Chain A
C-alpha cells in the first residue's frame, strides 16, 4: 500500500421479511468497480456486476469525497445500525482510513435531529452523490436499472 491508494466501499441493507436485501459497491485502487444489489422481493435476483473504470472516474470520485469533507467526521455520535437497517462507508484516502456505520437514514429531518447533524449531513449527501455516480456507471455500461433504495 502506498499513500496515494484510494479505496471506497459502501453498503446499505437490512434483514427482514424478504431476506437479506442490500446494495453494496466498491472501487479498488486499480479501477475495479464491483456492484451487488440483492432484493428478494417478488423473487428478484441478485445483481452482481464488475467493470474497470478509468483513472479519470476514480479522480472524480476522489474529488467528490474530498469536497464532502467526510474524512474529518466521526461516526461516534451517529445513530447505531438497527432493525431498520445498516449503512457502512469505508474509505481509504491518503493516510486516513475511515469505516463508518449508522442506520438507514430516511430523511433529512432525521439527520437534523441527530446528535451530530453536521457530520451526518456530510455523510447523507455524500452517499447520495456517490450512489448517483455508481448508478449512472452501471446503467451506462450494463444497461440495467439498479434497484433504488
Chain B
C-alpha cells in the first residue's frame, strides 16, 4: 500500500527484512476495494533491497534531460489530430526525433496528449515557448516539459505529518 508519505520509513524498509507496507493515510479518506481487506501482495521481490535506476539529472529545479534528448509534453490535443499534425507544428523548432501520440483504447481516437522529443534543450525550449497556448484543430495546446530534475512540489517542512 502507498507509503510515499514517509520517505524515512521507506529507507528503513529497504535495509530491513521485508515487511508489508501499509498506507499511513487511511483515516482521512473514504476507502473502497478488496485491497484494503486482503492487503496487497507487496513483498520484497518487488520493492525492497534493490534500488531504482534513474538518470543523472543534476539537482535543483527545471527540466530533466532524457537519454537521447529533451522531451516535451503536449496536452489538450484534439482527438482527431494525426502524427503529421503534431510533426508539422513541432518541426519548425528543430528536428523531431520521436513522437508518441497515443490512442484511447476504447474509442480509437487520440487520447489527448503527445510526447515529442528533440535532440537539444534549446529546440525543446523554443517549441514550448512558441507553442504554449496556440491552437491546433480548434483546441488550445498546453505545452511543457515532460520530466523534471526533482519533485514538482516541495515537501512541507515541519508540517507534522509523521
Residues of A within 8 A of B (CB): 1, 7, 9, 11, 13, 20, 22, 24, 26, 28-32, 34-36, 38, 46, 48-60, 63-64, 74-76, 80-81, 86, 88, 90, 92, 95-101, 125, 128-129, 132-133, 136-137, 139-143
Which residues in A have their C-beta under 8 angstroms from that of B53? 48-50
Given contacts A20-B45, A22-B46, A142-B67, whether A54 and B144 have CB atoms under 8 Å apart is yes
- Nearest neighbor of B151 in chain A, beta-carbon distance: A30
Which residues in A have their C-beta under 8 angstroms from that of B57? 52
Q: Which of B5, B40, B68 contacts A99 (CB 8 A)?
A: B40
Q: Which of A29, A50, A97 contacts B26 (CB 8 A)?
A: A97
The prevalent SS among residues of B at the interface is: loop
Residues of B within 8 A of A (CB): 1-2, 4-5, 23, 25-26, 28-36, 38, 40-41, 45-47, 50-55, 57, 63-64, 66-68, 71, 73, 75, 98, 100, 102-106, 111-113, 115, 117, 142, 144-153, 155, 161
Q: Which of B5, B100, B111 contacts A129 (CB 8 A)?
A: B111
Q: Give A149 Cβ to nearest chain B Cβ, in Å.
A: 15
Q: Which of B26, B67, B150, B152 contacts A141 (CB 8 A)?
A: B67
Residue pair A1, B152 in contact (C-beta under 8 Å) = no
A-B contact pairs, 6 of them (CB 8 A): A49-B54, A53-B147, A56-B145, A76-B34, A80-B34, A100-B35
Extra pairs beyond A1-B28, A57-B73 (18, CB < 8 Å): A30-B4, A30-B151, A31-B148, A48-B52, A54-B63, A54-B146, A75-B34, A76-B34, A96-B29, A96-B32, A97-B31, A97-B32, A101-B34, A129-B104, A132-B103, A132-B111, A133-B111, A140-B115
Which residues in B have their C-beta under 8 angstroms from that of A24? 46
Which residues in B have their C-beta under 8 angstroms from that of A86? 41
Residue pair B1, A137 in contact (C-beta under 8 Å) = no
Q: Give A36 Cβ to nearest chain B Cβ, in Å.
A: 7
